[in-house]
Amino acid sequence: AQKITQTQPGMFVQEKEAVTLDCTYDTSDPSYGLFWYKQPSSGEMIFLIYQGSYDQQNATEGRYSLNFQKARKSANLVISASQLGDSAMYFCAMREGRSFGNEKLTFGTGTRLTIIP
């Protein structure tokens, strides 16, 4: 079973609008971390935001916020006031638990976001 599911292969959004990128995850571990990374066309992977499973509040980092719904096992990324430079591939990732061998990130298939001027 997929541990991280991103159901939107691609999205087109008008500049300055807000955009939500979906991510659902699957784990039975009570302790986990959720991450979002951005991959522009140049190829590098850029960390955006982190949410821990025990965090009471949704994470925010500038224009990025994470809509964390634990019961639904979803961790959607919200980008406010989108900009042309936001056009990129976005990956959701999870780190499960603290057991030996789980010290890695598992990535979803990504969503390609295109901002339209």
* Binding status of residue 103 toward other proteins by CB under 8 A: yes
**What is the DSSP secondary structure assignment for residue 26, as one 8-state letter?**
-
Residue 95: CB minimum distance to other proteins, A: 5
**CA proximity to 82, closest of 98, 62, 96, 100:** 62
Judged by CB under 8 A, the residue of 9, 30, 44, 57 near other proteins is 44
Judged by CB under 8 A, the residue of 7, 14, 40, 47 near other proteins is 47
The piece of 21-29, 65-73, 75-83, 108-116 that touches other proteins (CB under 8 A) is: 108-116
* Binding status of residue 115 toward other proteins by CB under 8 A: no
The total of other beta-carbon atoms located within 10 Å of residue 81's CB is 11
Residue 75 near residue 65, CB atoms below 8 Å:
no
Give the Cα separation of 44 and 25 in Å (integer).
Answer: 24
Residues forming contacts to other proteins in the complex (CB under 8 A) are 33, 35, 37, 42-47, 50, 52, 91, 95, 98, 100-110
